[in-house]
Chain A
């Protein structure tokens, strides 16, 4: 699905990403985890086609990315909802841009609203919604476009713990039904362990390790010991200096 090779990106002479390489298979998920300012959001923007790489290449479904891709859905950190549009019109916007007929838009948007249990808010403005409800709208705005790839930039960071878990469950549920690939950028270790088939640990613009998560999608994963073990491993990866043990593990993966 995604193939990233020798990717480099600098912002005003400051190197943000350095030699990024990874692959993601179709229908799978990748969680990118790292501290603030490590370049993970930039990597997501490059995958979305919102930024252009200085060197290297990104291929999605074997096609080189040079701009915005029609079948990629993007959920930004602060939801990116337009405050002057109602929930309904926020969801309808992407379809309208793509030239869908009015009736088709109505059908698709109403279906998405129903699936995400936000039909009752369709005429409300984003400012009238709670964080969790806004997040559902943001998810709906992407899903209504039926993407084969969903990119999410710290989508649940502003939510309380319970709502965050509820939203993570929702993403899993939709993913298992629609079978799209997704990339999630987060600084939350538990979130990465819960939502990533693969988990890439990024530090100072470099991927220091990519771990496989064999427990992805397991029922009641949050209560299992393997989940805590994985988190422990991730925490260790995030705090260790680049080199030594990390490089050894990277080879293992």
Chain B
């Protein structure tokens, strides 16, 4: 635990160090002093930044929760049932590579300018990663485990509960880590259209008003949002997949 804290502190120092080097070497007002940015960030955090951050967190949380629910469900079904996989895989392979972000105008027309269109955009981007990871995780389970489960008298639901889900959970959490990064990047883009709250809006609005200190404060807030989301996934992994770290060690 202490070591982890030290690692985070080391990363923070390194980033601030590089930032200072850029500040002193690049002769441009767009690279502001880290010290000044941190001061503005602390000063404005609760009054200005927090409402924007919470709004973005809400959009990511809802989108990821829905994507997990649907994605894991579809992934388990496609992994366990060849017929469903045969039907769904071509659809997944055709839709997965499409740059879904281009559909934001379509979603805004169909689902309104509010949160719904942004959340749906996030879902269609995130869900494929979760489906594919879950399905491949199921396919990778050693057939001996299924024989072992059946020999114990497990029915289909027991097999999902005691074998399939625990086996694919580490993969789902890895997919979640990747998709969280993607979600934040996509949300930053989506929050530039027809919103008044959201950290993407806050950053771009500060930039358009040439307030670089606030713009960087928003960027710090995004970084912190990602950091705490990743830490949350780490916590879930430690709680529910601690066996995997032990397996890796031995």
Chain A residues within 8 Å of B, Cβ to Cβ: 45, 48, 50, 68, 70, 72, 74, 76-78, 80-85, 93-94, 97-98, 125, 127-128, 141
Contact = CB atoms under 8 A, between A and B. Distances in A.
B150 A68 contact: yes
Given A97-B153, A125-B246, A128-B246, A84 B166 contact: yes
B153 A70 contact: yes
B148 interface: yes
B247 A94 contact: no
Contact of A50 (B151, B163, B241): B151
Contacts of B162: 82, 85, 93, 97
Given A68-B153, A84-B243, A128-B250, A97 B147 contact: no
A84 B144 contact: no
Given A45-B147, A80-B144, A98 B153 contact: yes
B249 to A, nearest CB: 8
Given A76-B147, A80-B145, A97 B152 contact: yes
Nearest to A74: B151
Given A125-B243, A125-B246, A127-B247, A80 B151 contact: yes
Contact of B145 (A72, A82, A127): A82
Given A93-B162, A97-B158, A80 B147 contact: yes
A50 B158 contact: no
A127 B152 contact: no
Contacts of B233: none
A68 to B, nearest CB: 5
B132 interface: no
Contact of A127 (B151, B153, B163, B250): B250
Which of under 10, 10 to 19, 20 to 34, or 35 or more describes the interface residues of B? 20 to 34
Given A84-B166, A84-B241, A68 B250 contact: no
B148 A76 contact: yes
A82 B151 contact: no
Contacts of A125: 243, 246-247
24 contacts: A45-B147, A48-B151, A50-B147, A50-B150, A50-B151, A72-B151, A74-B152, A76-B151, A77-B144, A80-B144, A81-B148, A82-B148, A82-B162, A83-B247, A84-B169, A84-B243, A85-B162, A85-B243, A94-B152, A97-B158, A125-B243, A127-B246, A127-B247, A128-B246
**What are the 10 closest A-B residue pairs judged by CB atoms, nearest first?**
A80-B148, A74-B151, A127-B247, A84-B166, A94-B152, A125-B243, A84-B243, A127-B250, A127-B246, A125-B246
Interface string B148-169: 1011111000100011001101
A74 B147 CA distance: 10
Contacts of A94: 152-153
Given A80-B148, A97-B162, 11 more contacts: A48-B151, A74-B151, A76-B151, A80-B147, A81-B148, A83-B247, A84-B169, A97-B153, A125-B246, A125-B247, A127-B246
A74 B150 CA distance: 10
Contacts of B148: 74, 76, 80-82
Contacts of A72: 151
Determine the main DSSP class of A at the interface with B. loop
A81 B149 CA distance: 9
Nearest to B158: A97
A9 to B, nearest CB: 16
Contacts of B154: 97
A97 B157 CA distance: 11
A78 B145 CA distance: 9
Interface in B141-192: 144-145, 147-148, 150-154, 158, 162-163, 166-167, 169
Contacts of A68: 150-151, 153
A125 B245 CA distance: 11
A48 to B, nearest CB: 6
Nearest to A153: B147
A228 B66 CA distance: 66
B113 to A, nearest CB: 45
A92 to B, nearest CB: 11
A78 B152 contact: no
Contacts of A76: 144, 147-148, 151
A81 B144 CA distance: 10
Contacts of B250: 127-128
Contacts of A50: 147, 150-151
Contacts of A93: 152, 162
